[in-house]
Chains A and B, each alone.
Chain A
């Protein structure tokens, strides 16, 4: 058994809002986001860091929030899927997921969107290969990735399926 956990006060910005939390030292960031902050759009699909359903942005970079402790996010700027359409208007990426039928059960979708959004941030016109590389850390069990890749390529204005 692990030693009794100590807790620690942390503060970070999430989707533009400042939050302060008292968390156990061993609390995973994803559990802090989901259970403590109630932002349940970020999902958990595995316990080994493989599936990417928990992907969020930490200081602008996509990270798997199940692979970080909450205390590691102290002072950081976090964005989750709930922050994408913050103004209530879906982003082009979110619209593209709908228009290209890029989701079925929708469980992987938040992580997919966050990985894809990070890609589009650094490469606004990705090719199909770029998208596949960028999403290789995100598992989808419903779609076979076909329409997900199409959607992301389309947002960048690229051509799909030569």
Chain B
């Protein structure tokens, strides 16, 4: 069944379906993969019976509150915790000096100069961004901990502040003396021959500057953990919401000077992650030290304002001196660009963002000649961390901006120029100039679905109608790829000495004594419905209803169902997560078949698993064993089994995708495995008086190959699109010149509310991945299409009012208004040389 199923999926033709409504739940017979099965997680969550880390209590637990820097950049002259310790109910404190004694700096992934940066769990001697933790206080209640934090006296000596990456590059003020430079990493990526392409081009379109802004997905549940220390075994247990514990432990264990198995990560339900819960190791190390120092469990729940101020922003990136080679027929043959990435005060997950974008180097297009001169610097802003669409989103925004600016300046149709330059479906699998392989897809077909959904044929008519109402109507497209399943070997393109490559994920499946199938995941879901989809896959492989499959909630390092890269990130559950589930289930299946064959005295080939029974195909009705019988024999009644026959019904499987090695000289290689497609299209109306943008029509088309559960896939499309809409129109981390964050909470940082959302139309097509275990591609991060299509639609709308060029990824009313007032200054950003 399993291999037949997989084969049929792999050999399946690309099918196109358009769904404009959530698919209804269907009555199921066989074949649970592909069905919109309702989520099992919901039952507890709609009753308030989920367990999030902040719901967990321990006897004698202390609450931790961080003392944070009010300055963006300052020398710490002194810290006095005396008054805090005198307060009744205060259990203890921790300062940077203690951290520097008891821990080592976190390892840095960069080569010099960034590799020399010393990053500790608390500020040591100097603060480098507003909100940076300088001390921690632990007390009997949340309120007391906060009171005590107010009593910690910190004397600062302010230093010059860098909030602009271009200023940082000058190194007039250096944030990290150990590095001696604000540059974390820099390098040139050069594929093909861009100089020749530009020389041969009929038109060279130049863009001086484009800016991708700072925002983050801001999960509704803030970060935090409950940490217990066992003095007898010197082990820590972290009941937490880290979304990538495998890598978290790699950071933390050496810093804490302990073994990796001394850190037990436990997650239950997690209230959203989006990458923003990957870089929690500094705070968690503080909690570990505090728990050990005080000999009691300690708990920290981040405040919303602290999350915005000092946890995880998305990478801010500015693109300079873009030059695009265009032939007379609209074919684009290459581009070059200088990219400057701002990673904030510390390169926590960085400089990986300096390479992750290369997974989608040419975007969806056939550009063969590309040069990217990439530099990353530190500034006095919050550190960044991966954020839904991490690093690829920034680069894809660049490629889409290029397409629309070229189209605008050369008078090309944005639809036709895309179709001309898209990688064609007959070119799949397509190898990009830097050695990545786009596994499948039909971008032009997906675009057509999007165009149909927004009725693109009526745009000009609607434009006229809007103009009569005094509104400027515009239409835009955003084409993106959601590259899934990282090859960590790409890190060696940044630092050849790093010992990372490949990827892996683990799962275990067992048949328990009463016939219950039990699945343990290494992944760390935060709302993606893994319990439901894993049960669908296992049910198909073992031949039982999904209800018979118990998928354990969350992650627990002690289950040994994890691997070095365990976690939920980089759109990889469909490949590695479900690949591991499938592998383990198939091993259990093999045991079950062999056991049934032995008991029923039949050849192995005669056994089938179906409807919760192992039975002889076309055999008599009584020649069938319920799963309970199989589970009971192996687990509790096994004396009669011969000594050389040992089915365990209990298997762990590690899914390790094959990538091959990257070429560190040419900077090429298969950096990721699957490429899901998103084509978004928006119609907007701009109010010329105010610059307010209203989205009046919107379509998101997604192709992630086989959809294990189309309902969950569509939910991810909705969510990712909403993040993009927020980012495109309002969400922005804005700093003043002193480095104070001006959008530090949900008052000032406006995320979409129910009333802000336009009607969303969704479409889907399935181009199965020829390499993924189930034909399913990772998905969920592909919201970037929304940022592009909204920006493009605004540019289209402004055509009739001065023809401004959209130069920023965030376009709140004031920016649009400025473009309306002074379109010329945006146009000065762009020039065309034609031959």
Contact = CB atoms under 8 A, between A and B. Distances in A.
B757 A106 contact: no
B50 A106 contact: yes
A43 interface: yes
Interface in A2-40: 2, 5, 24, 26-27, 31, 34-35, 38-40
Contacts of A142: 220, 272, 527, 715, 719
Given A2-B147, A51-B220, A108-B220, A97 B711 contact: no
Contact of A80 (B48, B527, B746): B48
B217 interface: yes
A58 to B, nearest CB: 17
Interface in B396-440: none
Q: For chain B, which range describes its interface: under 10, 10 to 19, 20 to 34, or 35 or more residues?
A: 35 or more
A146 B143 contact: no
Contacts of A107: 50, 52, 219-221, 269, 271-272, 527
Interface residues of A, number: 65
A124 to B, nearest CB: 19
Nearest to A100: B22
B713 to A, nearest CB: 10
Given A50-B746, A105-B221, A98 B39 contact: yes
A106 B754 CA distance: 16
B550 interface: no
Interface in B95-153: 141-143, 147, 150-151
Interface in A119-146: 131-133, 135-146
B718 A139 contact: no
B46 A98 contact: yes
A44 B527 CA distance: 17
Contacts of A27: 143
Contact of B760 (A2, A5, A51, A146): A146
B220 A101 contact: no
Contacts of A147: 22, 715, 718
Given A47-B304, A133-B755, A143 B719 contact: yes
A144 B47 contact: no
Q: Which of B20, B41, B48, B151 has the most CB of A within 10 A?
A: B48
Contact of B745 (A31, A47, A100): A47
A38 B56 CA distance: 10
Contacts of B52: 40, 43, 107
Contacts of B54: 34, 40, 44
Contacts of B272: 104-105, 107, 141-142
Contacts, number: 194
Nearest to A162: B759
A144 B50 contact: no
B38 A90 contact: no
A102 to B, nearest CB: 9
A161 B478 CA distance: 24
A138 B304 contact: no
B43 A98 contact: yes
Contacts of A150: 22
A144 B46 contact: no
Contacts of B723: 141
B204 interface: no
Nearest to A91: B46
B730 interface: no
A48 B47 contact: no
Chain B interface SS verdict (over half): loop
A41 B715 contact: no
A135 B757 CA distance: 12
B94 to A, nearest CB: 20
Contacts of B48: 39-42, 80-82, 84, 110
Contact of B46 (A2, A31, A109): A109
B761 to A, nearest CB: 9
A61 B822 CA distance: 49
A81 B754 contact: no
B271 A1 contact: no
Contact of A104 (B46, B55, B719): B719
B269 A105 contact: yes
Interface in B696-755: 711-712, 714-716, 718-719, 721-723, 745-747, 751-755
Contacts of A137: 753
B42 interface: yes
B42 A97 contact: yes
Given A41-B48, A50-B745, A104 B751 contact: no
B147 A1 contact: yes
B528 interface: yes
Interface string B749-783: 00111110101100000000000000000000000
B45 A106 contact: yes
Contacts of A132: 754-755, 757
A35 B55 CA distance: 8
B757 A146 contact: yes
B529 interface: yes
Nearest to B746: A50
B135 to A, nearest CB: 16
B21 interface: yes
A60 B48 CA distance: 19
A156 interface: no
Contact of A105 (B147, B527, B746, B747): B527
B218 interface: yes
Nearest to B276: A141
A114 to B, nearest CB: 10
Interface string B513-536: 000000000000011110000000
Interface in B660-682: none
Nearest to B24: A99
B340 to A, nearest CB: 29
A66 to B, nearest CB: 10
Contact of A141 (B141, B217, B711): B217
B222 interface: yes
A156 B425 CA distance: 45
B495 interface: no
Interface string B255-298: 00000000000000111101000000000000000000000000
Contacts of B39: 98, 101, 103
21 contacts: A5-B143, A34-B55, A43-B220, A43-B271, A44-B54, A45-B221, A99-B25, A99-B38, A101-B712, A103-B527, A105-B271, A109-B46, A110-B48, A132-B755, A133-B755, A141-B274, A143-B718, A143-B722, A144-B757, A145-B757, A161-B759
Interface of A: 1-2, 5, 24, 26-27, 31, 34-35, 38-48, 50-51, 53, 80-82, 84-85, 90, 94, 97-101, 103-110, 113, 131-133, 135-150, 160-161
Which 4 pairs from chain A and chain B are nearest by CB?
A41-B48, A105-B527, A107-B271, A106-B45
Interface of B: 20-22, 25, 38-39, 41-43, 45-52, 54-55, 57, 141-143, 147, 150-151, 217-222, 269-272, 274, 301, 303-305, 526-529, 711-712, 714-716, 718-719, 721-723, 745-747, 751-755, 757, 759-760
Given A90-B46, A100-B22, A142-B527, 18 more contacts: A24-B143, A27-B143, A43-B52, A45-B271, A82-B47, A103-B39, A104-B527, A105-B272, A105-B526, A106-B45, A107-B52, A110-B48, A135-B753, A141-B751, A143-B718, A145-B757, A147-B22, A148-B754
